[in-house]
Amino acid sequence: MFPGYGRVLRHRYYAQFSRTLGTLMENGVPLLRAIDLVSEIAGNRYLEVKMAEVRRAVIDGATLSTALTAQQLFPDLLTDMMAVGEQTGHFAQTMQTIADVYERELDRTVKTISALIPPVIIVLIAIVVGFVVYSILSAVFEMTHSLQVRPS
């Protein structure tokens, strides 16, 4: 599509995942049920399959951060912060903090892309206008040249 689009989608998913998981955990939803719910909101078959593998690993005794790290779904920053939250007993708060981080990052990326769009459009319009002007002028010069060359 365009540069930065993948980054926007990833950060949106990281923020959505973290915010939803944190909210579910704050409200007493069991971890396995919370994993099921965040898998459903992914809207992506690949992520749903990976989250099913994460769920199996958690059932087998792995921590959520360890299971997510093994699947390489999220950046190290997210899983490392999640691990700290698990170890300190402030998992839900940590997930909300992670969501805040990625929402700020998402806002910054969108603002950067939005700031770049007008200059790019101006350059593209200038190229099109330049091409049109060149086409018209070359036709005029060619016609003028052919009129001058004609014998009287």
pLDDT tens-digit series, residues 3-42: 778 888 888 999 999 999 999 999 999 999 999 999 888 7
pLDDT tens-digit series, residues 41-97: 878 888 889 999 999 999 999 999 999 999 998 999 999 999 999 999 999 999 999
Distance CA 76, CA 81 (A): 8
Q: Which architecture does CATH list for 5-113?
A: Up-down Bundle (1.20)
Burial degree of 21 (CB within 10 A; 0-12, 13-18, 19+) = buried
Percent helix, strand, coil in the chain (nearest 5)? Answer: 85, 0, 15
Mean pLDDT, residues 88-114 taken together = 93
What is the domain partition of the chain in residue ranges?
5-113
* pLDDT grade for 1, boundaries at 50, 70 and 90: low
Residue 118: both structure tokens together: 């007008």
